[in-house]
Each structure stands twice: as structure tokens, then as C-alpha cells.
Amino acid sequence: MTNEEFQRLVLEKLTGLEHGQIKLEERIDEVESVLTAKVEALDVKVNALDTKVEALDVKVNVLDTKVDALDVKVNDLDTKVEALDAKVNVLDTKSDALDAKIERFGRIQQDDVKGMLGLIKNKLDNISETQVIQGESINILALRQLQTESELAALKKAL
């Protein structure tokens, strides 16, 4: 192989390499444009997702605010429930004291009624005794009147 042949062969190879490089560059340009389109489409999707994430962040913040408000309300309700429990305990204590007073009053009243019934019984017994005595006195007076009338009638006859 001569120098010229070698140079021609190298020149052909270089020309073939240039054509391959051109084709490779064209193919790289095609791949780059496809990749650029895909990257742009992905950027659009990422931007849409970012927008959705921001919207969700806003919603989460709103929900957090609502949860905080509900926590405040729950704490208020807990405080009110505790206050009501304390009032219920006070009312239970007062109710127990009132029950004790009512029971004591009932016993006192029962004792008073028993005492009054005893007094009424004694009065009735006294009245009964008085009525018996008065009845006997009336009978004695009636007998005396009859005796007096008999003696008067006997005197009138005797005269």
C-alpha cells in the first residue's frame, strides 16, 4: 500500500467518520429536541403539581386554623364542663344537706305529731272522764229531782 492509497483510505475513513458524526449530531439534535419537549412537558406538569401543592398548602393552613379554633372551643367546653362538674358537686352537697334537714325536720314533725296526738288523747280521756262524771252527776240530780217530786207529791197528798 502506497502512501497515496493510505491517504485515500484514511480520507475515505475520515469522510465516513464525518458523515457518521453529522448523522450522530443530527440524531443528537433530534434526541435533544425530544428531550427538551419532554422536559418542557414535565416542567409544565411540575408547575401544575407545584400549583396544586401550594393550593393544598393553603387548604392545610386553613384546616390547621380551623383545628386550632376547634381546639380553643374544646378547651372552652372542657373548662365549662369542669365548672359544671364543680357546680354539680356543690348542688349534690347542698342536696345531701337538704335531704338531711328534711329527714331531721320529718323526725321533729313526727315527734311533734306524736306529742300532739298524746295531748289530744289525754284531753279526750279527760273529756270522757268529765262526761262520765257529768253523766253520773246528771243521773244523781235526776234521782234527787224525782225524790223531791215524789216527796212533794206525797206532801200534797198528805195535805
pLDDT for 17-63, tens place per residue?
888 888 999 999 999 999 999 999 999 999 999 999 999 999 999 99
pLDDT value of residue 92: 96
* Distance, CA of 58 to CA of 64 (rounded, Å): 10
- Counting Cα atoms < 13 Å in the Cβ hemisphere of 69 gives 6
1 CB-near residues (< 8 Å, 6+ apart): 9
Q: What is the mean pLDDT of residues 126-133?
A: 89
Sign of CA dihedral 107, 111, 114, 116: negative
8 falls in which pLDDT band (50, 70, 90)? Answer: confident
At residue 1, the 3 state secondary structure works out as coil
* Distance, CA of 87 to CA of 7 (rounded, Å): 112
pLDDT for 86-125, tens place per residue?
999 999 999 999 999 999 999 999 999 999 999 999 999 9
* Distance, CA of 149 to CA of 146 (rounded, Å): 5
Residue 159: pLDDT over 80: no
pLDDT value of residue 32: 94
137 falls in which pLDDT band (50, 70, 90)? Answer: confident
pTM of this prediction exceeds 0.85 = no
Ordered DSSP codes for 24-84: HHHHHHHHHHHHHHHHHHHHHHHHHHHHHHHHHHHHHHHHHHHHHHHHHHHHHHHHHHHHH
Query: What is the residue whose three cell numbers read 288523747?
Result: 121
11 falls in which pLDDT band (50, 70, 90)? Answer: confident
pLDDT value of residue 87: 97
